[in-house]
Amino acid sequence: MGISWSSTEDSESVQGNMSCESQSLEPKRLRKPGVTILKEILKKIKLDENLIRENNEILQSFLSSFIEEMKKKDELFNLLFQRVHYTGSFYHDLRISQPDEFDLNLILNLGLKESDFEVTYSPQVSAYARYHLKNPEAAAKKHPKLLSLFENDYLILEKVRKWIQSVVDKALQFYTLSVRNIYRIDRSCSGPARTLKLMKRNGGCIDIDLVPVFSCTLPTKQPGIDGRVEKILGSTLATFLAPKPYSPSGQAPVNEKERTRLWRTHFPDAEKKLIRGIGCVKPVIKLLKLLRDKNPWKILASYYLKTVVMWMMLENLEKEGWREEKLKENWKEDKIYERFIEALKKLAACVEQRNIPYFFSKKNNLLSKISHEEALNISRRMRTIIRDVEADPHNFWRYFGVQPTFTM
């Protein structure tokens, strides 16, 4: 059984939870200058609520009509499409820039009986899984075109990606643009996503990444799983199979045929469950992202930073005897300075070792592509920052590029 986390839900609304950032500055906080300064820095990234509301209205209006157009233009999509899953930094309240980029998963379901297929982890790279048809006749009966997404009874990533792109392109060709304040839609490819750019009449734009994913449930007994992850999240996990291609850089060798069958496992609900309602966890992740953006550290993707903090939480929870109340105590909002310094030290160590283990499979190294030289430069810079801000928290202003809002 997993630990019973707080039932308080993160808001899925676009308003987000800005509790830590929105607190007013109180004189007593000056006794903790590190805490006060970091909270002041976080206030600088408060999102424009009017823009949030405007873009959300445009997004919802567009999605409702455009997905219907996709259904009309492709029978197979109409059969497989289940719903839109809102993901990414904005919907997880980890956004540090304006709300004009949205990550949307198009959840697909083949609608087959459990006895007709199997989803198994790759033995070489356990962060990836394969979808195998055990009964191709059942799939053919479901829809004649369904088998076009398979090869040798395996669901093929590239076939699905190209199919979804063609569905989006056909829908755009016939779509009647009637969304208020939008005058044009541009399109492009971005990794596994089909990106649509809604051009606004006021000069702004909204980027929408549409990613096809297949939902399923996988046991956590895959190779490389940390037993502590299973302890807190349960013995089985709802997952999405996402069309993120396997990268051989720094990873186990996989032959070309096997590579075409590999789907990246993604556990957004489990991750959300882990960090939900735990004090300054999200503000610490935001601060890491802000500092990353002030430095030439583009290789440190936002997901990598989030993963480092999740490992911190896991280690902290284990140290405290798996007591959730102690975890919450250690991550209270007024401990943001200690937790941020701790996170920065852990990140520096991971970069120096050139390894950030994937949270759901330690054998998968998220940082496999970093060079020795780049890792050394980044880790040295981080240790300089840590030394300076521990000596004097006022240095946070300089490193985050924020003008001081008060003096002490």
Domains of the chain, residue spans? 45-267, 277-407
Residue 29 has pLDDT above 60, yes or no: no
pLDDT, one tens digit per residue, over 380-399 is 999 999 999 999 999 999 99
Cβ proximity of 394 and 35 under 8 Å: no
**What pLDDT sits at residue 90?**
75
Residue pair 272/60 in contact (Cβ under 8 Å)? The answer is: no
Give the residue carrying structure tokens 């070309």.
Answer: 256
Per-residue DSSP letter, 23 = P
Helices (H) and strands (E) in the chain, counts: 15, 13
Task: Single out the residue of 293, 276, 309, 297 nearest to residue 96, CA to CA.
Answer: 293
For residue 121, the model assigns a pLDDT of 83
Greater model confidence, 301 or 47: 301
**Cα separation of 204 and 377, whole Å?**
36
Strand pairing category for 205-219 and 101-108: parallel
On whether the pTM is more than 0.95, the answer is no
Sign of the Cα pseudo-torsion (127, 233, 303, 59, in order): positive
Pairing of strands 128-133, 263-266: antiparallel
Closest listed residue to residue 240, CA positions, set 260, 211, 261: 211
pLDDT of residue 193: 79
Amino acid 11: pLDDT: 38
pLDDT tens digit sequence for 293-308: 999 999 999 999 999 9
Query: Looking at residue 249, what DSSP letter applies?
Result: T
pLDDT computed for residue 219 by the predictor: 67
- List, in sequence order, the alpha helices (H) in 74-135: 75-80, 88-91
Provide the 10 A C-beta neighbour count for residue 321.
7
Output the CATH code of domain 277-407.
1.10.1410.40
Q: CA of 128: how far to CAs of 116, 122, 220, 388, in Å? A: 21, 6, 13, 41
Evaluate whether 94 touches 226 at the Cβ level (below 8 Å).
Answer: no
The 8 Å CB, 24+ separation contacts for 386-390 are: 386/341, 386/344, 386/345, 386/348, 389/34, 389/341, 390/341
- Contact by Cβ (8 Å): 243, 263: yes
Residue 12 DSSP symbol: -
Residues in Cβ contact with 99 at an 8 Å cutoff, skipping those fewer than 6 apart: 14, 47, 48, 51, 52, 55, 56, 90
Q: Is the pLDDT of residue 12 over 50?
A: no
Mean pLDDT along residues 184-200: 88
Determine the pLDDT at residue 184: 94
- Answer whether 104's CB lies under 8 Å from 211's CB: yes
Helix or strand run (H / E) with residue 216 = strand 205-219
Four-residue CA torsion sign, 382, 367, 357, 155: positive
In terms of pLDDT, which residue wins out, 72 or 3?
72
Nearest to 295 by CA among 400, 217, 147, 212: 400
CATH numeric code, 45-267:
3.30.460.90
Tell me how far apart the terminal alpha carbons of the chain are, to the nearest angstrom: 49
Query: What is d(CA 338, CA 140) in angstroms, rounded to the nearest whole number?
Result: 58
Mean pLDDT over 7-36 rounds to 51
Mean pLDDT, range 135-161, rounded to an integer? 93
Q: Which residue, among 11, 25, 21, has the nearest Cα to 47 in the 3D structure?
A: 21
Stretch 289-295: mean pLDDT: 96
Under 8 Å between Cβ of 2 and 233: yes
How many angstroms separate the CA atoms of 356 and 363, rounded? 10
